[in-house]
A and B are shown apart, each in its own frame.
Chain A
């Protein structure tokens, strides 16, 4: 009897070991609630789509463990700790929002678990980090891109910025835009601020009208940006606006109505309106539309998707789901076809990829082309 029991135990143990070995656990920490929920939810949907299409890697089942970080730093650190310690994930994907990524990144760094950032574009996120990567490019690059487009392609000489003082993303982009624009020989006529949560921008906009710029750089989140554009129209502003990737959301037209007409923003090289889409992007768009027939995909969905693809590629090249090996493989990613163009991970763990320009024309997001920033 006792022998039988021991045997049974052994079998059971073997089974559990085997099953644990068969599963690759991928943690997702993103802002599903709180102030950044609109971005986090889209990215999660993108990642989940990629998972549905690629449920196994190296013939192992991939299990997603999803944790909300509430758009809050303390929660972000807790969430990553939980993923690593409780769920023993092999790798992590996330998050929207650089400050959240930084909080989570410290934990992952210490535990030695690789993280792939989706749209945390602040340079500090991957600075001095061995285990943090991202599928997005970074703010200095993007700020320079917007400046280049405004100065070279559109030929504007006088620019101004309207920046959310409490948002690191916005502050950083504003600064990089101003620096590049000045370097190219342009003039910055005004630099105004607001605070996250503000809804009335009439004071800043009236001051901008007074300063008479040709173009205003508005590195806002889309929900705020749409309201800014609306109020600008009401006040009869004649200058144009250019924004950045956080303005890339299908809802911007519904929110802003005709006030967003002619608004431009830099973004990743993907948009459902793109004329020459690469194969991955085509497949992604088709699959997305099957699952969400009522909602067009945007770059956040694409980046969520790409993060998973990048991870899958790294695991396959490493031939193992061991965190350390995934990390090493991620570091050598080169010219991986992703939805947002060819992705190469550079020395600072940031993705080097093309930057696109989107303009709202006739109430539709229209992909205008690729811009090469003069950094």
Chain B
């Protein structure tokens, strides 16, 4: 492998990793506050991509309008999911909410099959984002590949600002610490949780849109693999930690790309590499890279 090829791999990994990170941030956001592994996150992500498809391909709206519609629409769907399937289970054991999440995931996927059919659909890619920039050494970079990490980092920055510098952010962190006490402090817990869910869904929508742009195909099951991958990425970084999710996503992206780059004959084992690394990390840091350490309180 020469240097040019390596640089190309590096760029590919950065682009893939930041996409994983973006999906993972939404995952971790909901987890951090509700301790709920939202298995439906990948499917909400899929809805975001479908909204863009409908807005741009079916209704031929301008691309930017499509993005706004998709974010709003997906957020509403996310809030509905929370209201219908999770809110009644706030006081229930966590497994109930988890199974409800699996149910929601099945529902959204199959509902999409019924409504949209199983046929993969194309997505409009704005040419300005897709025209490759040829760097020295024939390394190619598409503008979207730069846009994805930028959007991801900006969003993570905004999110951190929101969590650590604003009142609702404070309330969110308080809820993740102790929901009962927060409620007693006069915080409208359900509103804050809905806000967190809305944010998580909006993030899923952004990720879904960027994903659909990068890999221009939408189908009902497109959220499954990214959903699981993002879950891994979130755990890598320490589930519940926003910067952790981003770092986890990047690590996952790099592991996947670099394992193929350095061991092309073992490319069939690509996902196994990622999982092995995950388990190794957990063995040495049982709560992920940036996860909070928990001591047994006796």
Residues of A near any B CB (own CB < 8 A): 32-35, 37-38, 41, 165, 190-195, 197-200, 202-204, 206-207, 209-211, 223, 226-227, 230, 234-236, 251, 254-255, 257
Q: What band does the interface of chain B fall in when counting residues whose beta carbon is under 8 Å from A? A: 35 or more
Within 8 A of A (CB), among B239-298: 256-261, 264-265, 267-268, 270-271
Q: Are A255 and B120 in contact (CB under 8 A)?
A: yes
Question: Nearest A residue to B124 by beta-carbon distance?
Answer: A257
Residues of A within 8 A of B224 (CB): 197
A-B contact count (CB 8 A): 115
Whole-angstrom distance from the CB of A42 to the nearest CB of chain B?
9
Within 8 A of A (CB), among B180-229: 211, 214-217, 219, 221-222, 224-226
Question: Could you name 19 residue pairs across A and B whose Cβ atoms are closer than 8 Å?
Answer: A33-B113, A33-B118, A35-B221, A190-B264, A193-B267, A197-B224, A197-B225, A199-B214, A199-B225, A200-B16, A203-B256, A203-B260, A203-B261, A227-B215, A234-B140, A251-B119, A255-B122, A257-B125, A257-B216
Q: Which of B1, B118, B140 contacts A34 (CB under 8 A)? A: B118
Residues of B near any A CB (own CB < 8 A): 1-2, 5, 8-9, 12-13, 15-16, 110, 113, 117-122, 125, 130, 132, 134, 138, 140, 142, 211, 214-217, 219, 221-222, 224-226, 256-261, 264-265, 267-268, 270-271
Whole-angstrom distance from the CB of A365 to the nearest CB of chain B?
16
Q: Are A223 and B217 in contact (CB under 8 A)?
A: yes
Q: Are A41 and B122 in contact (CB under 8 A)?
A: no
Residues of A within 8 A of B265 (CB): 191
- Given A34-B118, A202-B12, check contact A230 B216 (CB 8 Å): yes
Question: Nearest A residue to B221 by beta-carbon distance?
Answer: A35
- Given A190-B264, A195-B271, A226-B217, check contact A203 B118 (CB 8 Å): no
Which label, helix, strand, loop or mixed, suits the secondary structure of the A interface? helix
Q: Are A207 and B122 in contact (CB under 8 A)?
A: no
Q: Are A206 and B268 in contact (CB under 8 A)?
A: no
Residues of B within 8 A of A234 (CB): 130, 132, 140, 142
Whole-angstrom distance from the CB of B169 to the nearest CB of chain A?
33
- New contact pairs (16) apart from A197-B225, A257-B125, CB-CB < 8 Å: A38-B118, A38-B119, A38-B120, A194-B270, A199-B222, A200-B12, A203-B257, A203-B260, A203-B270, A206-B261, A210-B1, A235-B140, A236-B132, A236-B134, A251-B120, A255-B122
Pairs A-B, 9 closest by C-beta atoms: A37-B118, A203-B260, A202-B12, A193-B268, A223-B120, A197-B225, A165-B268, A199-B215, A203-B257
Residues of A within 8 A of B225 (CB): 197-199
Q: What is the bound-complex CA distance between A141 and B250, given in angstroms?
A: 43
Q: Are A37 and B140 in contact (CB under 8 A)?
A: no
Residues of B within 8 A of A198 (CB): 225
Q: Are B257 and A223 in contact (CB under 8 A)?
A: no
Q: Are B264 and A41 in contact (CB under 8 A)?
A: no
Whole-angstrom distance from the CB of B45 to the nearest CB of chain A?
12
Residues of B within 8 A of A257 (CB): 122, 125, 216
